[in-house]
Amino acid sequence: MKAIIQDRYGPPDVLTLGDIDPPTVGNDDVLVRVRAASVNFGDWAILRGRPVVLRLATGLRRPKSLVPGVDVAGVVEAVGADVATIRPGDEVFGRTSGSFAEYAVSASTRLAPKPANLTFEQAAAVPLAATTALQGLRDQGRLEAGQRVLVIGASGGVGSFAIQIAKAYKAEVTGVCSARNVELVRSIGADEVIDYAGDGINGQRFDLIFQVAGTSSPLALRRALTPTGTLVLSSGRGRLAGIDRIVTARVASAFVAQRLEVFLEHESAADLFVLKELIESGQITPAIDRTYPLRDAAEAVRYVEAGHTSGKVVITV
């Protein structure tokens, strides 16, 4: 099968289109004929092997996974002997390892039926970014109806889902983005939009701040929280991949009344079903910035790495 291959760490140029054997299907596995994959922050972080400590998990000398890509949408080609819930021909979306390829294999528990009202391209945009937004707001942020929520990075892959999810949970939502993305952020439901080059937050207070972009210090953001508010840090951008902000939040949280939380998404099949419902009820629609054919995956990863996407970037197979 055709696949994008990452056989060493480096810039997106190290990605090549090649021919490899399709993955083998274990008893609990599902083989998906990939129709679309999406590009995430993690794809270029793994490709670069940065920060270096990441290599303890992703492979010391070269990436353990030969094919990049963790989000997938496609049609089931075959299932393992013990899979009862999914059948060949089903349209699915979810998580895998190696979706920048014609075929990808996943444990059946990592997939869910594709939302009926989405194209494969839209469905592939959902799994990691929307789960991050959902868990960051609902679980780590303990989001409640009526709260004032600020999403910093509202125009990015995660942020564009966060705005819609916060609205679905009946919050009053303000998005922070650049001037060129103000219309996008308004169109996906933000009640108010702040251009980060302008006057800024200007004395406003929020019950929950979800930081998915920018490098503002937790101490600066704390000043925009209500006395019992919560800051959820999810941005891995910056010189030290956000480690400085994580340390600051951890230390400062011992001394302040507000919650300063560092957040890591975890894969959840249940949350794929929650997202499917929110999508099918019309409360979330993925914002797609660009799509690239499989052979241009390196270009897609380079574009995401630059950090200026307006919504998600999708690879079509």
Question: Which amino acid does the sequence have at 271?
Answer: D
In the complex, minimum distance from the CB of residue 79 to ligand NAP, in angstroms, rounded to a whole number: 29
| Residues 94/118, Cβ–Cβ less than 8 Å | no
- Structure-token pair, residue 94: 């979810």
Residues 6 or more apart whose CB falls under 8 angstroms from that of 141 comprise: 149, 208, 210, 230, 232, 261
| Contact residues for ligand NAP, defined by CB under 6 A | 41, 128, 132, 152-153, 155-159, 176-178, 180-181, 196, 212-214, 234-237, 263-265, 307-310
d(CA 223, CA 245): 15
Work out how close the CB of 264 gets to ligand NAP at its nearest, in angstroms, rounded to a whole number: 4
Give the H/E segment covering residue 167.
helix 157-168
Nearer to ligand NAP (CB atom), residue 25 or residue 284: 284
CB of residue 160 vs ligand NAP: minimum separation in angstroms? Answer: 7
In angstroms, what is the minimal distance from the CB of 28 to ligand NAP?
A: 25
Minimum CB distance to ligand NAP smaller for 83 or for 125: 125
Q: How far is the CB of 284 from ligand NAP (least distance, A)?
A: 15
Closest distance to ligand NAP from the beta carbon of 196 (Å): 4
Residue closer to ligand NAP (CB basis): 86 or 177: 177
The CA distance from 133 to 312, in Å, is 13
Cα separation, 45 vs 114, in Å, equals 27
Which residues, in sequence order, are CB contacts of 139 under 8 Å at separation 6+?
Answer: none
Closer Cβ to ligand NAP, 42 or 80, answer by number: 42
Nearest CB to ligand NAP, comparing residues 5 and 165: 165
- The smaller minimum CB distance to ligand NAP, of residues 79 and 288, is found at 288
Name 194's bridge partners: 176
